[in-house]
Chain A
Amino acid sequence: MRNFCRSCTQSRPQLLSSPLVFRSSPYLFFKARYLSSTQNNALSRFDGAPILKYVRQKVEERSKLLSLISDDFSNAEDVSLAKRIKDLEPLETAWKEWSNTRKSLQETLPLLDDADPAMRALAVEEHASLLETLTNLLDSTFPTLLVPASDTAHLSALVELKAGVGGSEASLFLAELVRMYTRAANTLGWRATTMSSNMLEGGNGMKDAILEVKGDKAYDALRWESGIHRVQRVPATEANGRVHTSTVAIVVLPLSEENDSHAGKDELFSPDEIKIEVMRARGAGGQHVNKTESAVRLTHLPTGITVSMQDERSQHQNRRRAFQVLRARLMDRKLSREVMERRAVRRNLVRSADRSEKIRTYNYAQASLPPMLIFYSVIAHTKLQDRVTDHRLGLSLMNLMSVMEGDGLQEILQALEERYRNESLEEVLTQ
């Protein structure tokens, strides 16, 4: 079975098999599937891949187009023909490489059984390297050429977090998630800033927060974080050691480069659609008052979306921030609308994020269990272990701490991105 075929898209380890992604993840499946099968078998498995059939079709289409085009560019359609031919050129090049490599591989096969051990050793080496090339073409080069480039790759992200069920535990966990994303952003070379946060009265937790993550592909990488995140653990304050379940709802929004909020020229809204309010009365104002009074609320009249911002020390900054959030929300709407429209015209296999879906669970080891319970827990081994489960990937990572420190999250993000790419590819292949 190839990893792009229709029947195995749901949360199967095959989806995670790209050699690009999980080189360093021992707990994940690996491309070894190809290599472990008997040598001959490997080739025939390759040949059956739907993606190959598709690529071959495209290459044939290109030769047909080449034969249609007139030598002297005399026909009206020639320009568009030439463009399509040009567009298919990289695929043609990759296909040639595929065919040549495949041929070489076939030639090495008899040598694998050669009588001369030196020859045999050489052949094994050669064979392995050719196989690697083929795998790469199949898993990475072809998909990259077939799946259209993301048109949101340039966008940064806003991560909005809201505490759900679980009271102060949810707030505590929310603060930990903010930290997790901040750290992950740093390792990935992005810049993360907590744009706004509402602290829990008298505690360390946050009722909600908005995190700005600036950098290339930040939105594309983080968008699958939208959904309900669940934590299961014994709260530090819980005397009787009962495990609580709390949730945090996350929405990741696309953040475009800002243009000035005052000059307000914007394709997402026009200035007269925005009502700007300052939050509090200032008495006489001006020289009479030097209290920091900078809260701002925007209302987008056509949609009723409101954004309040008070975390910055000046009107101007709060206004700028509020406009950023508003723009991100409107952009988010626009993108979802486009997905829906596309879905209406053709069967769309790519899932869009469902924000009410429970996407991930963070389980903490019950270190504070009373002795009796620990005894039982040892029997039910996993109970004692820290782990993170992503329900969409059907994947549990035993390195909860590394995830919360940001490093482990990278792997999940990559797996989700990979899943998305596979779904996109599948969509191309079934068109």
Chain B
Amino acid sequence: MIPAPSTRQLVVALKRSVGARAAELELKWMRQAVEQPPIPASLHPTPTFEEMLARRVAGEPLQYILGSQPFGPLDLIVRPPVLIPRPETEDWTIRLSERLRPTKSKPISILDLCTGSGCIALLLCHLLPPGSAHATGIDVAESAVQLAKDNGAFCGITVLDNGPPLCADFPKWDSNTFTPLLANIRDPAFVIAANLRPPYDILTANPPYIPKSQYDTLPGSVKDYEDPRALIGDLDSGSAQGLSFYHMIAALVGDKSRPILKSDGIIALEVGDGQAQEVARILHEQAQVHHIEIWRDPWDKERVVVGRSSP
């Protein structure tokens, strides 16, 4: 039997794989998490320091090991295989919240497609004034919907279990609300099936956008741990540029027989490296979205396409 590697060997291995400076920070965060678990043990049993180190060296993302990821002022629970919230998403969600000026007397409704951990909807709910925002999150993965619920409760946001609230009932709520729902947005009837209450003021989504061709080249910590359904943007048919979900969302927004967005409602979609122009075109041509802006992320990549729906 091969003896288990010593802590020292593991530390050396970690330094080799992520670099000395990053390793030092990661070790510090692991120690902190052991001393002060960011997530209660009932939701995420805290491993020992050695266990953490061994898992990290094996390639597991640090966030899954620690069980949490800060997202704006929130601490979110993360749990494999639900996608770990990214800093790019954090950045544009905060930026979007600063654009919105809802009040309790003029509340807004938000539809967050592909909600995953619930990060976008929850951060908006957290940042907007109490009673001013009511968000619904849709995901096809049960693990995601469950995590989104747990996160809502963990962040102190009111989670509604009996379906999305009626617009007419918004004034009854003194707090913001979040309703995570299981549904497949490929299903043409999902709006009805999920009992959604369109039209919405805001539609957000960070849909899977990685082209199938790039999937195999992803780092192991992504490919081996995060749900392929959260990453791959090409469905069986289509152009293989990772844009399937944008076509789907454009069709949803463009369908004026059952408008999903209010006239002049805001649509904000995160996109992959190099996809922004094409997504802007799709939204413009297929969904008549206007006032389109492209926002860059802190690393100077075009990251979000934002626009307004036409009547």
Contacts A294-B87, A315-B87, A316-B90; A288 near B222 (Cβ below 8 A): yes
List the B residue with the shortest CB-CB distance to A314: B70
* Pair B69/A291 contact, Cβ less than 8 Å: no
Q: Report if B29 contacts A (CB, 8 A).
A: yes
Q: Report if A26 contacts B (CB, 8 A).
A: no
Q: How far is the CB of B200 from chain A (nearest CB, A)?
A: 24
Contacts A276-B298, A312-B70; A287 near B87 (Cβ below 8 A): no
Chain A binder among B160-168, B206-214, B259-267, B277-285: B206-214
Q: How far is the CA of A197 from the CA of B83 in the complex (A)?
A: 30
* Pair A285/B273 contact, Cβ less than 8 Å: yes
Contact of B98 among A262, A276, A282, A317 (CB under 8 A): A262
Q: Report if B26 contacts A (CB, 8 A).
A: yes
Contact of B70 among A262, A263, A285, A313 (CB under 8 A): A313
Q: How far is the CB of A276 from chain B (nearest CB, A)?
A: 7
Which of B29, B72, B299 has the most chain A CB atoms closer than 10 A to its own CB? B299
* Pair B208/A287 contact, Cβ less than 8 Å: yes
* Pair A285/B299 contact, Cβ less than 8 Å: yes
Q: How far is the CA of A316 from the CA of B85 in the complex (A)?
A: 13
Q: How far is the CB of B187 from chain A (nearest CB, A)?
A: 23
Q: Report if B150 contacts A (CB, 8 A).
A: no
Q: Report if A293 contacts B (CB, 8 A).
A: yes
B30-82: which have CB < 8 Å to A? 61-63, 69-73
Q: How many A-B residue pairs lie within 8 Å, measured between CB atoms?
A: 98
* Pair A285/B218 contact, Cβ less than 8 Å: no
* Pair A313/B29 contact, Cβ less than 8 Å: yes
* Pair A286/B222 contact, Cβ less than 8 Å: no
Which of B26, B89, B95, B272 has the most chain A CB atoms closer than 10 A to its own CB? B272
Q: How far is the CA of A316 from the CA of B73 in the complex (A)?
A: 7
* Pair B210/A290 contact, Cβ less than 8 Å: no
Q: How far is the CB of B114 from chain A (nearest CB, A)?
A: 11
Q: How far is the CA of A315 from the CA of B303 in the complex (A)?
A: 16
* Pair A290/B299 contact, Cβ less than 8 Å: no
A residues contacting the other copy or chain, number (CB 8 A): 28
List the B residue with the shortest CB-CB distance to A281: B299
Which of chain A's residues have a CB closer than 8 A to the CB of B88? 285-286
Q: How far is the CA of A315 from the CA of B297 in the complex (A)?
A: 12
* Pair B29/A289 contact, Cβ less than 8 Å: no
List the B residue with the shortest CB-CB distance to A292: B62
Q: Report if B28 contacts A (CB, 8 A).
A: yes
Q: How far is the CB of B110 from chain A (nearest CB, A)?
A: 19
Q: How far is the CB of B48 from chain A (nearest CB, A)?
A: 20
* Pair A278/B90 contact, Cβ less than 8 Å: no
* Pair B98/A284 contact, Cβ less than 8 Å: no
Q: Report if A201 contacts B (CB, 8 A).
A: yes
Contacts A278-B299, A286-B272, A292-B62; A316 near B226 (Cβ below 8 A): no
Contact of B86 among A199, A262, A290, A312 (CB under 8 A): A290
Q: How far is the CB of A334 from chain B (nearest CB, A)?
A: 28
Q: How far is the CA of A145 from the CA of B243 in the complex (A)?
A: 73
Which of chain B's residues have a CB closer than 8 A to the CB of A246? none
Q: Report if A226 contacts B (CB, 8 A).
A: no
* Pair B20/A287 contact, Cβ less than 8 Å: no
Q: Report if A132 contacts B (CB, 8 A).
A: no
Contact of B273 among A286, A311, A315 (CB under 8 A): A286
Contacts A287-B209, A290-B221; A311 near B72 (Cβ below 8 A): no
Contact of B94 among A290, A292, A316 (CB under 8 A): A316
Which of chain A's residues have a CB closer than 8 A to the CB of B72? 314, 316
Which of chain B's residues have a CB closer than 8 A to the CB of A3? none
Contact of A201 among B20, B83, B209, B230 (CB under 8 A): B20
Sample 26 A-B pairs with CB under 8 A, ordered by A number.
Answer: A199-B24, A262-B95, A278-B298, A278-B299, A281-B299, A282-B299, A284-B273, A285-B297, A286-B273, A287-B208, A287-B209, A287-B272, A288-B210, A289-B86, A290-B63, A290-B219, A290-B222, A313-B29, A314-B70, A314-B87, A314-B90, A315-B90, A315-B91, A316-B71, A316-B90, A317-B70
Besides the contacts A287-B206, A287-B272, what 12 more A-B pairs have beta carbons closer than 8 Å?
Answer: A197-B28, A286-B209, A286-B301, A287-B230, A290-B221, A291-B22, A291-B219, A291-B221, A314-B71, A316-B72, A316-B94, A317-B70
